[in-house]
Chain A
Amino acid sequence: KAGVTQTPRYLIKTRGQQVTLSCSPISGHRSVSWYQQTPGQGLQFLFEYFSETQRNKGNFPGRFSGRQFSNSRSEMNVSTLELGDSALYLCASMRAGGPDTQYFGPGTRLTVL
């Protein structure tokens, strides 16, 4: 079974631009979560989608948003990029409501110049 895939793997943007990252979960998984990893703040939870609905949300500004499609694929969007948004963005999928295990993708490395 294929793992979690994330596209693109690397991205360079400039301040003020917006960006969309994509995540395809493991087949049959209905929950997708997003995390931001930075050297200063570590791993932080952004949000989680289940059956196209945002079920949990972390403490990030409204510039960070996401959505999930009927095939469970998910996208996250960051608008008006700031230098501090440079990070590794990790997507994780899980089968259902839990308790269960999240399986992580390789991440998208976003650099904001």
Chain B
Amino acid sequence: AQSVTQPDIHITVSEGASLELRCNYSYGATPYLFWYVQSPGQGLQLLLKYFSGDTLVQGIKGFEAEFKRSQSSFNLRKPSVHWSDAAEYFCAVDSTGGGNKLTFGTGTQLKVEL
């Protein structure tokens, strides 16, 4: 069965510092991968997705992620974090080939120090 691991439960960074959130997946075929962000009391907002093609994908709010098949990873990065980026971040993999059944990681809570 497919699975997603986000090894960091909590991460604290200073505003203006760079950020990398880790995500590893286990899936037999070529995965469809997603990063979502959730602010307190809110639903999930899509940051970016990978279906195929260029392994470096750009998303909203200045985020990017790189798909590395050899490492089964899809890490999320941002060169300079803003205080408004404080939220919980979820990596997800689709197991159906259609994007309609997501398996989520446990999430990484990001705290930004001013």
B89 close to A (CB within 8 Å): no
Verify A107–B102 contact, CB threshold 8 A: no
Size bracket of the B interface = 20 to 34
Verify B46–A99 contact, CB threshold 8 A: no
What are the residues of chain A within 8 A of B67 when measuring CB–CB?
A: none
A74 close to B (CB within 8 Å): no
Residue ID in chain B nearest A4 by CB atoms: B43
Task: Jot down 28 A-B pairs with beta carbons below 8 A, ordered by A.
Answer: A4-B43, A33-B101, A33-B102, A35-B102, A42-B105, A43-B92, A43-B104, A43-B107, A45-B101, A45-B103, A48-B100, A50-B100, A55-B100, A56-B96, A56-B101, A98-B99, A99-B32, A99-B94, A99-B97, A99-B99, A100-B98, A102-B102, A103-B46, A104-B43, A104-B44, A104-B45, A106-B43, A107-B42
